[in-house]
Amino acid sequence: MNEATSRLGEELAEDYTCAFLRDILTPHNFGGTSLGMYNLITSISALKMFVKIGMKPNAQWNLKSLKQYFGIIGSKQAMLDQLIQLRIDITEG
């Protein structure tokens, strides 16, 4: 967990209570990154595939679970934009 991630978590914790914040701030080790960051990267990939060609990563995958996990709202394109911006904020922040 780095300083930018901690600062982001503190800022978002005021407004949101979602599983992503718990996972990003927990020092799990998934190849040197937290579970939250791993889920963010894989979710962006899955959502890009769904937005661009309409293909689900698996039969049980749905947008509702992403919305609940990340605490975001909007259409599939709006969700993708929000997740990409979140990744940028975390990695460059």
User: Looking at the 3D structure of the chain, how many domains does it have?
Assistant: 1
pTM of the model: 0.78
Which pLDDT does position 1 carry in this prediction?
A: 46
Average pLDDT over residues 21-35: 80
Structural domain boundaries, residue 7:
3-92
| Residue 42: partners with Cβ closer than 8 Å, 6 or more residues away | none
**Phi, psi for 62 (deg, rounded to 5):** -150, 160
Distance separating alpha carbons of residues 47 and 66, to the nearest angstrom: 9
Confidence band of 10 (pLDDT split at 50, 70, 90): low
Which residue's entry shows tokens 């599983």? Answer: 19
